[in-house]
Amino acid sequence: MNYNWDWRVFFKPTGIGNEIYLDWFVTGLGWTIALALSAWVIALLLGSLLGVMRTLPGRYAARIAGAYVELFRNVPLLVQLFVWYFIVPDWLPEPLEDWFKQDLHPAISAFISVTICLGLFTAARVCEQVRTGIQALPRGQAMAAYALGLSLPQVYRQVLLPQAFRIIIPPLTSEFLNVFKNSSVASLIGLMELLAQTKQTAEFTANLFEAFTLATLIYFTLNMGLMLFMRWVEKRVRVPGLIALGGK
Amino acid sequence: MDFSPIVPALPSLWEGMLLTLKLLAFSVIGGVALGTVLALARLSSNKVLSLLAGFYVNYFRSIPLLLVITWFYFVVPFIIGWITGTNQPIGAFTSCLVAFMMFEAAYYCEIVRAGIQAISRGQVNAAYALGMTYGQTMRLIILPQAFRKMTPLLLQQSIILFQDTSLVYAVGLMDFLNSARSQGDITGNLHEFLLFAGLIYFIISFGASTLVKRLQKRLTV
């Protein structure tokens, strides 16, 4: 098979508007980052709540959070995405359904579906990390806080969570990176994020090696950059004297 | 909700499940084999080998699986064409299989590496003292013990892989999820078919991870 290498392909016009192919990658990267960040906000908030629930003294809260984790961890991400994209909108009340399906730009409705899907999917993983972090603290911490007369919310807010979050930065970082990688499933419901733009460039130009190499480089750089940044953060906020607990 | 159209569609769903399981089985075998080789390379005293293996692992762990699947779908036929000089298409199944094996090998490598590192150094020294070569030490002493310890982790990773096989949807391979989706489209009961597929994935993954947890308890002394 013959193949024409041409690395200048990214600067060629796409024939659509005034865009060059590189613009597609920039747009795609923008969607990917927007998706990952908004899903991460949901995942972090909901995951922390669930993680706390799993460590509460009462039985029901822990069970509900446990069931949530099992459900979202044992169904493939793509199935969950189909549920959020194809099924849930049909279950909405009529005016909301019409708004979601007709008034919204297709890219926005796909964006909402993927964000909710990724957020809830990742929340199950964040929950387990938060739980591990809380349980890794010496039990005396909670006891001492109660003995000082703090209420249950105060114990969590002022004693347990600030320490737990600092311990679990490394595993949380890898979940954060996973959100970026997992956001590529959005390409399967037509959202033009990085992977979808790559595929489109490969199909338009037939320079598929160049297109996929660039996409790989972007993901790789993004991951490495975020990882280095989080390592720096981790060092800054490390709990003194607790290093032995860190990591796991 | 009408779940009755699922019954006549069961044979084609079963076909899809067979493809999923076939893909899973080959990927696990290939991935663990390649992952073990990578782990040995990473732990080797040869700097170049260890660096290369480290780069391989970091590379595959920092890009999305879906990107790898799509990459390979487009590119593997080219590469095979260059190597063999022929121009025959190889099909989505083979390219997906190669993608899964190479991608998962990076994850299995880290598990195997941790498993090997958990074996005490004295085992290696004792094996060398008995006059064993590096190959014999690894094959007869270290790897059997390491694999026993890390079986639960390898299985856990394989359950994740089982769920990830659904991503072959991207290249149109008729795995379990894709056949459920296409049957749903044909019969007009997409909701029911997707929920059914989700339920089956859940039962298998949940059941398997419960078994793995039990195994883990039995293996830890």
Token pair 């026993």 in the structure block, residue? B148
Q: List the end-to-end C-alpha distance of chain B, in Å, as a whole number.
A: 49
Q: Per the structure block, which two tokens stand in for B59?
A: 């590379």
Ramachandran class of A16: left when φ > 0, alpha when ψ lies in -120 to 50, beta otherwise: beta
Asked if B84 reaches chain A (Cβ–Cβ under 8 Å), the answer is no
pLDDT at B90 over 90: no
Q: Which comes out higher in pLDDT, residue A243 or B27?
A: B27
Nearest to A184 by CA among B66, B140, B79: B66
What's the CA gap between A84 and A107, in Å, rounded?
A: 14
Q: Per the structure block, which two tokens stand in for A46?
A: 């909901």
pLDDT at A246 over 50: no
Instruction: Using CB atoms, pick whichever of A77, A86, A220 lies closest to residue B62.
Output: A220
pLDDT band at residue A248 under the 50/70/90 scheme? very low
Name the residue ranges covered by the structural domains of chain B. Answer: 6-219
Nearest to A89 by CA among A81, A72, A101, A76: A101
Residue B82 confidence (pLDDT): 80
pLDDT per position as a tens digit, A203-242: 888 888 899 999 999 999 999 999 999 889 988 888 776 6
pTM for this prediction: 0.91
B82–A199 CB contact, under 8 Å: no
Alpha carbon of B175: minimum distance to chain A alpha carbons (Å): 13
Asked if B91 reaches chain A (Cβ–Cβ under 8 Å), the answer is no
- Type of residue numbered A209: F
Residue B211 confidence (pLDDT): 95
Asked if B42 reaches chain A (Cβ–Cβ under 8 Å), the answer is no
Residues of B in contact with A92 (CB under 8 A): none
pLDDT (mean) for B104-126:
93
Q: Per the structure block, which two tokens stand in for A155?
A: 């114990």
Are A37 and A119 in contact by the 8 Å Cβ rule? The answer is no
Nearest to A134 by CA among A159, A97, A108: A159
Asked if A208 reaches chain B (Cβ–Cβ under 8 Å), the answer is yes
Residue B165 confidence (pLDDT): 97
Residue A2 confidence (pLDDT): 66
pLDDT at A245 over 80: no
Asked if B202 reaches chain A (Cβ–Cβ under 8 Å), the answer is yes
Name the residue ranges covered by the structural domains of chain A. Answer: 7-245
Are B64 and A195 in contact by the 8 Å Cβ rule? The answer is yes
Q: State the DSSP H helix or E strand holding residue A213, giving kind and residue range, or none if neither.
A: helix A208-237
Domain A7-245 is found in CATH 3.90.950.10: no
Query: Rounded to the nearest 5°, which phi and psi values hold at A20?
Result: -105, 165
Residue A53 confidence (pLDDT): 95
pLDDT at B221 over 70: no
Identify the architecture of domain B6-219 in CATH: Orthogonal Bundle (1.10)
Q: Buried b vs exposed e over B33-56: b needs ≥16 C-beta within 10 Å?
A: ebbbebbbbbbeeeeeeeeebeeb
pLDDT at B120 over 90: no
Asked if B170 reaches chain A (Cβ–Cβ under 8 Å), the answer is yes
Q: Which comes out higher in pLDDT, residue A64 or A103?
A: A64
pLDDT (mean) for B144-151:
90
Alpha carbon separation from B66 to A95, A132, A187, B73 (Å, rounded)? 35, 29, 9, 11
Average pLDDT, chain A: 91
pLDDT band at residue A12 under the 50/70/90 scheme? confident
Query: What is the 3 state secondary structure string of chain B?
Result: CCCCCHHHHHHHHHHHHHHHHHHHHHHHHHHHHHHHHHHHHHHCCCHHHHHHHHHHHHHHHCCCHHHHHHHHHHHHHHHHHHHHCCCCCCHHHHHHHHHHHHHHHHHHHHHHHHHHHCCCHHHHHHHHHCCCCHHHHHHHHHHHHHHHHHHHHHHHHHHHHHHHHHHHHHHCCCCHHHHHHHHHHHHCCHHHHHHHHHHHHHHHHHHHHHHHHHHHHHHCC
Average pLDDT, chain B: 92
Residue A41 confidence (pLDDT): 97
Asked if B5 reaches chain A (Cβ–Cβ under 8 Å), the answer is no
pLDDT at B94 over 70: yes
Alpha carbon of B172: minimum distance to chain A alpha carbons (Å): 11
Q: List the end-to-end C-alpha distance of chain A, in Å, as a whole number.
A: 49
pLDDT (mean) for B12-18:
96
B75–A188 CB contact, under 8 Å: no
Nearest to B40 by CA among B179, B134, B154: B134
Residue A13 confidence (pLDDT): 86
pLDDT per position as a tens digit, A14-59: 877 888 899 999 999 999 999 999 999 999 999 999 999 999 988 8
Instruction: Using CB atoms, pick whichever of B78, B87, B198 lies closest to residue A79.
Output: B198
